[in-house]
Structures are given as structure tokens and as C-alpha cells.
Amino acid sequence: MEAVKIPSRTELVQRVADIVPVLRANARWSEQNRRLADETVEAMIGAGVLRMLVPAYYGGYESDQQTVVDVGIQLGRGDGSPAFCATAWWAQCWAVAHFPDSVQDEVFADPDVRICGTLVPNGHAEITKDGVVVSGSWSFNSGAWHSQWKVFSTLALSPRGQIEPIACVVPMSDLEIIDDWDVAGLRGTGSITLVAKDLFVPRERFQWMSEVGRQEYGESRTVGVPCYRGPIIGVLSNINTGKQVGLAQAARETFLDRIHGRAIQHTNYQTQAEWPITHVQVAEADLKIDEAEFTARKLAALVDDKNYSNEPYTLRERAYCRVAVGRVSQLCLEAVNIYNMNGGAGGIYSSMPVQRIQRDLQAISLHAVNMPIKNYELYGRVLCGLEPNSFFI
């Protein structure tokens, strides 16, 4: 493959910062139409967002996790829906980079490929001589309208005689689309349901998740490449943090822009900026955002260090990956709740960004990977010397 010049972190982050106005301009259209605007996706492609976790052999950037956080922040500053779709596409690019080279050759023929996917096993599968036949439905496929491929998990009888999950990668053209995405938050992600009916998947395009959990990926050009080392929990947790920090920063920017031009009704305060209550509120929210960003960067540093050193994660470090993304979710949502609840009655208009940001962050916090209380419980068990009660660690 032809070598591609990989942009520096500074250059890539600036590219994405430059498209923030485009993401913001299309945010209401995306929410109303329940999918990303084509202009938004084209802007992301032009900035190089979709290549970040694509192998360099195929024209990708193999970005480190600190860069992922920095770019995620800029995407979140623009709009939550494209930021969330980028996360979904990154995650599946990372996953496909562990499939055999023949599969990667097909999927990454376009280095700006979009691969939607879900983690929850659903449906059923029957192993055959040459592959597997799958039937089932999978919800929450963020970015599906603009995707060419999908990764899904289902259950099959393993050679050991046990029912185990497998991960399959299939073309979108093999799946039926159910347009059922009508939700309160992240409306622009277009996270529709996809259905497979007696779909044959060749052997090279599915993996046993038990092998993935043991990091037994088989032969691939990415073996030994730092970007693709380590367990999936480190990368998947990290890529979910930056966008949330960016969303909270966008809410802060919008809130502070308004407080000098609106009065506090039924008081003598001519502007909200003069009101002492506002001072307490913005201080608390600002600190929460800073603490969330600190946690995000601490997690990124951990994952990058493990990727480059190739040192194994301890159980506590694996659990920390989960609790860190949960903490970021909690802090960012709490900060934006402060801005949203103190923006006055005018803040409920659909044209006001903070109410949309609040709904997007609430939706993100409900995601199974991000849910704070679930991740706190898991981390606490490990700290107390107990075995984790989740396979996803």
C-alpha cells in the first residue's frame, strides 16, 4: 500500500477544531432528521477523523489515545451526535484491525470506511463447515446510515461444546434496516436496528469472543503494533471520554455567552453575571469539567503507556478503565445539569444548545459501558479483593 503522511497531533486536532462550526450548523438538522447530515460526515472525512484507528498499512493514522481524547473534545464541542458516531466508528475499526489480513484488505480498502457495531450478543448462530449462519436483530447501531460495514455479536456452540459469543463483520448490504430511532438524546446518531435472516458469514469474518478476551487474534499485520495492543476495555473506555468533555465545554461556552445579556427576573439584578448565585454555580460546573478532563487524560496516559510498553494490565487497572469513563460521564452530566437548570425559561427552546447537550450527555451516561453506578460497583469490588462480576473488564 502507498505510504500516507500521518498528521501530528497538533495538526489533526486543529483540523477538527476547524470543522466545529460545520458540526454546530448541522446539529438541529441532524436532530430533526434523526441522522447525521451528509455535510457533517464529509467534514469529518476531510479532517481525517475516520482514519484515526485504521491501520497505517491501509492509509490510517494509528493514533495514540491522547490524540483520540483531544480530537474527541473538539468533536464534542461541535455536536454530540457526530462525536458519538466517531466513537462508534473508531471502536469497530480497532476491532476489525484484529481480524485476518484478508478481511482487513476488504474492509479497509476505503481508509475512511465507516463500520457500525454493537457489543451485546443477540440472535443465534449455527456453525457450519465454512463459516456460520446467523439470524437476529441488533439495536443502537450509531452511524449506520453512513456505514458500509457492521460488526455484531451473537451466540454459537463452540468446539468445546459451550454456548459462547462470536463477533462477526458483514457488509451493510446483507442486513435489513429497521428505522426505529426516535429517542430523547443523541437523536442525530441515527442508531437504527439492523436485522440478519439466515445470513452466511465466512469463517474468516467471525471471531470467538473468548479468544478475543485472551487477546488471541491470530495472524494479522497489526500484531505487535502499539495501537492495537492490550485488551479492548482500555481503548473502548478511553475513546468514550473526550466527546463528553467537549460537550460540557460547549455548554459552558454557551452559558457564559448568555449571562451578560439576560436579567434575573423578579430581582434587582440586571444581568445574570451580577448574581452571586451564578458565581457559585459556574465555579462548581467549571471544576467538574476540569476534573473530568483530568480523569480522561489520566486514562489515556495509562492506555498509551500499556500499548507502547506492552506490559499487561493488572485487574485493578482494567477495572479503573471502566470506572474512569463512568466518572467522566458523571462529572460532565452534573456540570451541564447546572448550566441547563440555570439558563432560565428561554433555555428550553430547541434552538438553545445546552438543552440538547444535556439530553445527549444523559443518553451517553446510560450507555452500558459508561453508566457511572455500574462502573463504581465493579471498581469497588476489585478494590475489596473480590472477583469482578462482569466479563467486560
Domain boundaries, the chain: 9-113, 115-212, 232-383
pLDDT tens profile 295-329: 999 999 999 999 999 999 999 999 999 999 999 99
Q: Assess whether pLDDT exceeds 60 at residue 2.
A: no
Q: What is the pLDDT, as a whole number, of residue 37?
A: 98
What is the pLDDT averaged over residues 340-362?
93
DSSP for 261-293, please give it: T---TTSS-SSGGG-HHHHHHHHHHHHHHHHHH
Q: Which amino acid is at 166?
A: I
C-alpha cell at 231: 485488551
User: How many helices and strands (H and E) does the chain possess?
Assistant: 14, 8
The CATH homologous superfamily for domain 232-383 is Butyryl-CoA Dehydrogenase, subunit A, domain 3 (1.20.140.10)
Query: Residue 318 in 3-state DSSP?
Result: helix
User: What is the side-by-side order of every strand in the sheet holding 115-117?
Assistant: 115-117, 149-157, 163-171, 206-208
* Residues ≥6 apart with Cβ < 8 Å to 220: 97, 98, 99, 100, 101, 104
Angle at 122 between CA 119 and CA 127, to 5 degrees: 105
- Please tell me the distance from the alpha carbon of residue 210 to that of residue 111, in angstroms, as a whole number: 28
Look-up of cell digits 454493537: 118
Order the strands of the 192-202 sheet from edge to edge: 124-127, 131-141, 192-202, 176-178
Q: Which of 380, 254, 251 is nearest to 319 (CA)?
A: 380
Q: CATH number for the 115-212 domain, one of 2.40.110.10, 1.10.3470.10, 3.40.50.150, 3.40.50.10890?
A: 2.40.110.10
Contact between 331 and 93 (Cβ < 8 Å):
no
Q: Does the pLDDT of residue 90 top 80, yes or no?
A: yes
Report the C-alpha dihedral over residues 118, 392, 205, 223, rounded to 10 degrees: 130
Residue corresponding to grid cell 448574581: 275
- For residue 213, pLDDT over 80 is answered with no
Confidence of residue 391 (pLDDT cuts 50, 70, 90): confident
pLDDT at 1: 59
pLDDT tier at 4, thresholds 50, 70, 90: confident
Q: What's the CATH class of domain 9-113? A: mainly alpha
Helix (H, G, I), strand (E, B) or coil at 152: strand
Q: What is the pLDDT of residue 158?
A: 83
pLDDT tens digits along 18-65:
999 999 999 999 999 999 999 999 999 999 999 999 999 999 999 999
Q: What is the model's pTM?
A: 0.96
The answer to whether 148 touches 172, Cβ cutoff 8 Å, is: yes
Please check whether residue 62 is in contact with residue 308, taking contact to mean a CB–CB distance below 8 angstroms. Answer: no
